[in-house]
Amino acid sequence: MQVSGTDRPETENVLAWRDRFGQATVSLQTKATILVVGLTLSVATGVSGYFLQASARLARTEQQEKMVQLASMLAKASAMPLADGDTSRLKSLAEEVIRDGPLDYVIFADADGSELIAVGSRPSGVQGLCDPAAKPAIQGTPVYHSSEESRFLCMDISYPVDLRDTPSNSADQPQRALVGYLQAGMPADAWHRSMSSTLDLVVGIGVIVIVVAIPLGFVLIRRILSPVQGVTEAMQKFSEGDWNVRSSTCRRDEIGRLAAAFNRMADQHQQAHDRVLRLNVELEKRVTERTRQLRELALREPLTGLYNRRHFSDMIDHSFAEAQRYDSELACIMLDLDDFKKVNDEYGHQTGDELLVLTATTIASQLRSADVAARFGGDEFIVLLPQTGTERASIVGRRIIEKFGDEVSERFPQLAVGMSMGIASRHSPGVDDTDSLIRAADRAMYEAKGAGTNLVYTLTTDSIPVPSAGSNLAG
C-alpha cells in the first residue's frame, strides 16, 4: 500500500508517538516499590483478617460461656421456687439477676413448657418456651436472634431446671428431677462493640503499616537499585561510545560484582581499542611510507636510481610553466657518454651498467635538491636546473665532467671514456616550450660531441652552439 504525500507526516507522527510511548516504561524502582507495598498490604490484610476472625471467635466463645454460666447459676437458684410453684420468689430472683447482671430478660416455665412468669423486656424476635419436645435440641446452647424493633442482635438460652434428690445410700448416684425450664437473654451488642473496637484498631494498624511501608519501601528499593541504576547509566554511556566511563559502585554483593565485571570489561575493551588505534596508526604510517616508496620506485629508473623520462616530462612541464609565470631562468643540460658502445663491446654490458651507475651518482652529487636529473635513454642523461641561466648551468656541467673524469680514472683506469654536454635555457633562441628546450639542449650536445670529448656547448644562436670556456678537458 502506498502512502500519499498528505498522509506521510501523520504516519510519521504516529510512529514517533509509538516510539515515545514505548520508551515511557515504568522504571524498575517504581515496579519494585509497588511490589513491596502490595506485598506488605497483602500480608497486613491477611494477618488483620486472621486476627479479626480469631478475636471474633474468642469474643463469641467468651460471651457464650458467660451466658451458659449465668443460666446454670440461675437454674440452680430457681430449682426450689420453681418446684414449689413460688412465682413471687421466681420473679424476685429474676429481677435481682436482671438488675445486677447483664441479662435483659428471664422467663420461667414448668416441666410441661407452660410459661409461668416473664421478667424484663423480651425482644419480639424471641419466642417463648412452648414445645418441650423441641427444647433438647437447643437446651444449654446460646442462640442469636435479631430484634426487629431495636434492630440489634440478642442472645438467649433455654436451660432445664432440675432438682437433685439425695439417696439414702451414699453409693448410689443422685437422681435429677426436671421441674421446669428457664429462658434468659442478653444483648449481643457488647460483642459487636468489642469487634468494632478491634476492627478500628486493626484498620488503624493497617493504615499505619501502609503509610510507613510506602516511604520505607521506596527508600529501601532506592538503596538497593541506585547502584544498579549507576551501573546501567555507565553501560548506556559506554554503548554510546564513551569508552572512558566506569562505574563507581563499590559493594560486596552481586551488584558490586556486576559493577566490577563491567569495569574489567570496559578496561579490556579500552586496552583493545587503544591497541587497535596504535596498530591502525602504525599501519597507516607503513602504508603511507610503502606508497611513497612504490611511487618513488615507479618514478625512478631501476638501474641508475635517477628519475625516469615520464616523470621528467611532468617536472619540466611544471617548471617551464612556473618560469614563464614569474619570468625566471630555467636551464636544461643534455649529456651523453663518448665511446660507450665501445665499452660494452670490449668489456661487456656489466661494465657498461656499472659505468652508467657511476655517471648517475656523479650527476646527483653535483645537483641541488630542487634540480631534477633523469636517464633520457641508453647512455643519455638530462638535467633540469630551475632558477638557473646558461652561465651557471655551464659551471655545473664542468663540475660534473671533472667529477666524472676523476671517478673513472680511479675505478676504471682501463677505460677511455668521456662525456659530451649541451646546454640550453628558456631564453635561448627558438625556445618557446618544453619540447623546443629539450631539442635545443640536444642540438648543443651533438655539436659538442662532434667537436671532441669532455666538451660543454651552450646554444647562443639559432644555428651556432659555442663551447663554454675551459670545457676542453681532454687536452
Q: Using alpha carbons, list the distances in angstroms from residue 144 to 94, 103, 135.
A: 21, 14, 16
C-alpha–C-alpha distance, residues 150 and 120, integer Å:
15
74 touches 97 (CB < 8 A)? yes
Provide the edge-to-edge strand list for the sheet that holds 330-338.
372-377, 380-386, 330-338, 418-425, 456-459, 465-467
Ramachandran assignment for 316, one of left (phi > 0), alpha (psi -120 to 50 degrees), beta (any other): alpha
Please confirm, yes or no, whether 172 is among the known catalytic residues: no
Q: Which three cell numbers stand for residue 62?
A: 467468651
DSSP 357-426: HHHHHHHHHTS-TT-EEEEEETTEEEEEEET--HHHHHHHHHHHHHHHHHHHHHH-TT---EEEEEEEET
User: Exposed (0-12), middle (13-18) or buried (19+): which is 457, by Cβ within 10 Å?
Assistant: buried
C-alpha–C-alpha distance, residues 108 and 453, integer Å:
170
Ramachandran assignment for 375, one of left (phi > 0), alpha (psi -120 to 50 degrees), beta (any other): beta
C-alpha–C-alpha distance, residues 279 and 271, integer Å:
12
In the set 162, 338, 379, 442, the catalytic residue is 379
* Amino acid at the residue 55: S
CA Rg value for the chain: 65
279 touches 272 (CB < 8 A)? no
User: Which residues are tagged catalytic?
Assistant: 379
